[in-house]
Amino acid sequence: MLNIVIFGAPGSGKGTQSARIVEKYGLNHISTGDVLRAEIKNGTELGKTANEYISNGQLIPDALMIDILASVFDSFKDSKGVIFDGFPRTIAQAEALKKMLDERGQEVSIMLDLEVPEDELMVRLIKRGQETGRADDNEETIKKRLVVYHSQTAPLIDWYKNDGKYLHINGLGTMDGIFADICKAVESL
C-alpha cells in the first residue's frame, strides 16, 4: 500500500498533481476540500457547518475532520493506496492519521511538500476564482487561508521531517516538470 500525503499552501498544486498521480499509479484520492465542497453543494448539515469555516478561510474542527477522513478511508477496499490531499492540516490530524494507519498495519509512505512562493499562490488562486467562481478564492479569504496555513499547517513540515517521511518538491514551474519530480519520488519507494 502506498499512502502519499500531498502537502502545501493553498494553490500550491496539490489537487492538480493528485489527479496526475491517481491516473498514473491507480491510487484512490481523498481531497478533504472536495469532500466538504460536495457536502456544501448538497446542502447537508455538515455542508452548512463546513461553509461557515471555509468562507472565513478557517479550518474545520479537528474532531469533525478526523471522523470524515476515517469514513472516506474505510470506503476504499482492496486499494493499491491512497493520496491524501488537504489532510492532515494540523498536528492533531497528523497524529490521528498515523494512529488510523497503524491500526490497519499501514503507514504514510511519503509526504510531498509542494513549495511555491506566496505571490505566485495569490496569482494562481485569484485567477482560479475568476475562472471558476470558487467562493474562497478572493483576495481577503486567500490572505486568511495563508495565515492559517502558516500558523496551523506549516508546523507539519517539521513533524514529517522528524517522522522521516518528508520530501521537498519545488512547486514552481511547469505542471509536467513538477509531476516528473513527483514520479521520481514515488518510484523510489
Query: Any contact of residue 86 with ligand AP5 (CB under 6 A)?
Result: yes
Q: Is 124 annotated as ligand-binding?
A: no
Quick note: the x/- pattern for ligand AP5 over 94-123, rule CB under 6 A, is: ------------------------------
Assigned C-alpha cell, 168: 521537498
CB of 157 within 8 A of CB of 100?
A: no
| Active site annotation includes 14 | yes
Q: Which of 134, 144, 161, 165 is catalytic?
A: 134
CB of 140 to ligand AP5, least distance (A): 13
On whether 12 is known to bind a ligand per the annotation, the reply is yes
Q: Check the annotation: does 141 bind a ligand.
A: no
The H or E element containing residue 103 is: helix 91-103
Residue closest to 92 by CA, chosen among 56, 61, 113, 115? 61
161 φ, ψ (degrees, to nearest 5) = -65, -45
In single-letter form, the type of residue at position 59 comes to L
CA dihedral 56, 159, 97, 40 (to 10 degrees): 10
The answer for residues whose C-beta is within 8 angstroms of residue 3's C-beta and 6 or more apart is 81, 82, 84, 101, 106, 107, 108, 109
Residue nearest to ligand AP5 (CB): 33
- Does 165 engage in binding with ligand AP5 (CB under 6 A)? no
Q: Which of residues 46-75 bind ligand AP5 (CB under 6 A)?
A: 53-54, 57-60, 65
Residue 11 assigned to a binding site: yes
- Catalytic residue among 24, 48, 80, 128, which? 128
Q: Determine if residue 174 is left, alpha or beta; phi over 0 gives left, psi from -120 to 50 gives alpha, anything else beta.
A: beta
In the residue annotation, 128 being an active-site residue is answered as: yes
| Ligand-binding site membership of 44 (annotated) | no
Supply the DSSP symbol for 59.
P
Q: Is 175 in the site for ligand AP5 (CB under 6 A)?
A: yes
**Cell numbers found for residue 122:** 495569490
Annotated binding-site residue numbers for ATP: 11-16, 128, 173
> Which stretches of the chain bind ligand AP5, using CB under 6 A?
8, 10-16, 32-33, 36, 53-54, 57-60, 65, 86-87, 89, 93, 124, 128, 145, 175, 178
Active site residues: 14, 89, 128, 134, 145
Annotated binding-site residue numbers for AMP: 32, 37, 58-60, 86-89, 93, 134, 145
